[in-house]
Amino acid sequence: MTKNYSDEFKLSVIKDYYESNLGVRKITAKYNLSSKNLVLNWEKQLKEKGLLPTEAKKDPEKIKIRSDKIDFPEKTQKEIEYEKEIERLHAKIEYYEQLEHLQPFISKKKQKQGAKVQSYICFAI
């Protein structure tokens, strides 16, 4: 069921959004609206109708920055140790991968060395 809201109501919601420190989601909850997209769409519609200046927007100083996305705590000693261990393991993996590429050459060399050892043994007996 779609609700029809008056332009006056939409305008008051948008003005509240512009003037408050609340974000779109909080304004949506405050006015018990179904989606934050309503507020964003209303803003666009009101600008198109000329009820809101086209250059109107939320004051950047009133925009709250989510601190949980910016404020990273210092790494613990355990995290630092884990990172070092990961680096060592990556180095080992790289080393073993290089050995796998050399495996055909290593087997031929061992076969030749084995044959030389056998010939030395034969001469010693």
- In a domain, residue 101? The reply is yes
What is the arithmetic mean of pLDDT over 110-121? 55
Task: Name the domain count of the chain.
Answer: 2
Tokens (6 digits) for 121:
């043994």
Same domain for 18 and 49, yes or no, is yes
90 by Cβ neighbours in 10 Å (0-12 / 13-18 / 19+) ranks as: exposed
pTM of this structure = 0.49
Range of the domain at 108: 80-124
pLDDT confidence of residue 82: 93
Is residue 23 a contact partner of residue 64, using CB atoms and an 8 Å limit?
yes
Domain boundary (19, 36, 63) is at 63
- In a domain, residue 34? The reply is yes
The percentage of residues in the chain with a pLDDT greater than 90, rounded to a whole number, is: 23
pLDDT confidence of residue 4: 87
Report whether pLDDT(59) > 70.
yes
pLDDT confidence of residue 89: 94
